[in-house]
Amino acid sequence: MSNLQSDIDYMKSLAEAGGKGPLRNGATLFWAGLLYGLAAIGQYAMIVGWLPKSGAVSAFIWFGASIIFGIIATVFCFDRLRIKGSVSNRATASAWSAVGLGIVAFLISVAVIANIYQNFEPLSYLIAPVILLFYGMGWWVSAQMSGLGWLKLISLGSFVAAPAVSCLAGQPVQMLAYAGCLFLFAMVPGLVLMRAEKA
């Protein structure tokens, strides 16, 4: 009977070990934080007049960042790497996919409402705070699934940053604050996860 219990305990430990492992979405978050952080700086440069002020320039900045991110994701096969990971990796990857889809749906909703009221400016100030909220949710799931307590701090930082960035609505510096948040709450933790994955 004791041997049977030992075997059961051994199998249970194997199953639990299989559910954990280094998170493999660090590269995705690193590049997202870097590219969209740089795009936010580009948006700031346009707002203050360092670049031509136009919707076309703004679209070029953000679509350009998205295209570059898509190319990098394709080259490095981010999705394939995550699928091969542990249970926590697959769950975390699903959560971040939902975050991405949520951001896209939110941006489309903003565009629709702006078109109805023919006024995009007030809604534009919501974009950075809401995206930071999405990041906070993604990091919270990552922390819960991986057992990495420091990711909860990243999540809470994102949640605190959202209303803080909202206080800068209507000011060009909001974009600089948003860029700093993307570097701090996406690029840096993404880099840490990348290094942990290689260790």
Q: What is the pTM of this model?
A: 0.86
In 3D, which of 154, 112, 118 has the Cα closest to residue 23?
154
3-state helix, strand, coil in the chain (%, to 5): 85, 0, 15
**φ, ψ of residue 159 in degrees (nearest 5):** -65, -40
Q: Token pair of 59, please?
A: 């679209």
Instruction: Sketch the domain layout of the chain as residue ranges.
Output: 24-191
The Cα–Cα gap between 83 and 17 comes to: 17
* 23-63 pLDDT, tens digit each: 778 889 999 999 999 999 999 999 999 999 998 999 999 99
Q: In this model, does residue 1 exceed pLDDT 60?
A: no
Question: What distance separates the 2 farthest-apart alpha carbons in the chain?
Answer: 78
- Region 131-158 average pLDDT: 95
The neighbour count for residue 177, using CB atoms within 10 Å, is 19
